[in-house]
Amino acid sequence: MEHEQSRRLEKRRRKRCVILIVIVVLIVIVIIAVVLGLTLRQNKMVLFQHFFICCFCIFRCTTDCQKVWDAFEQAYVNKDPCKVAVEAYDPLIVAAPFKPQCNRMIFWSKTKDVVHGFTEKRDCFVTLEDTLLGSVLDGLTWCGKEGSKGTFTTGCPGWSKCKNNPVLSFWRRISAAFADVACGNVTAMLSGSIDTPFNSTSIFASIEVVRFQASRIKSLNVVMVLQSNCTDSSLNNLRQSLDTGITYSCKDVHESRIQECGAKPEIACGACW
């Protein structure tokens, strides 16, 4: 119980830290723009780096913050923003590796708001966006340009404009790294409100599931939310995609039940679904 409370307090400290950094960043943008007459775009380029480094220094004091930034930046700087390969982020994974959190790792597809609404309130599970790399860069946009050493936060290609854009390649790479350290009993939250809950083109299906190894993972427990139906035919493909030796189970759970568990810490995590 004390360990869970400690983790919850740490999560709150991180969240407050991010909020404070954002506030400071906004203040600095205004001051620099007014006093020095610099453009907002130039400020964002500099402040994106400061935001990234500050988050790493505060969250993980033992991390070489500048080293992590350099590994991140080299993936896309001075490159065509539609030609950033997934492998370009390999040095970043080496600089800031993921740590296994057996029996606590939860994956998701088309249920981001639901799963994060739960993990923000309860410390039962950890999503990719709850990790250091995921939490720092979730929701942000960045890219480089040929002939420039800068990091840009505007004028970058959208998520689906080109396959090898900096943001999509980043999430594909760290999704693979997160799946590579999955161990014990793994959970996945899928949406039952769409035609194909297990879509072969999703990051969960095409990158994460295929990296699940029976030598590390004992079981995959699927939680179907919203208009749930564990009998959906696409889940047959999920079962067939699993490495031999990984046990599969699925349970239909209404979103209201997940929200209730998030709001009531007295409900044991194992009783949420």
Residues noted as catalytic:
102, 183
Pick the closest to residue 112 from 131, 132, 127 (CA basis): 127
- Helix, strand and coil content of the chain, in percent to the nearest 5, comes to 50, 10, 40
Q: What is the dihedral of CA 88, 91, 96, 102, to 10 degrees?
A: 70
Q: Give the distance, in angstroms, between the CA of residue 225 and the centroid of all CA atoms in the same chain.
A: 20
Are 115 and 188 in contact, with CB atoms under 8 Å apart?
Answer: no
Are 134 and 171 in contact, with CB atoms under 8 Å apart?
Answer: no
Query: Which residues are CB-contacts of 265 (< 8 A; sequence separation ≥ 6)?
Result: 121, 122
User: 208 exposed, middle or buried (CB, 10 Å; 0-12, 13-18, 19+)?
Assistant: buried
Query: Which residues are CB-contacts of 58 (< 8 A; sequence separation ≥ 6)?
Result: 14, 17, 21
Q: What is the dihedral of CA 195, 111, 143, 140, to 10 degrees?
A: 150
Tokens of 199: 């879509």
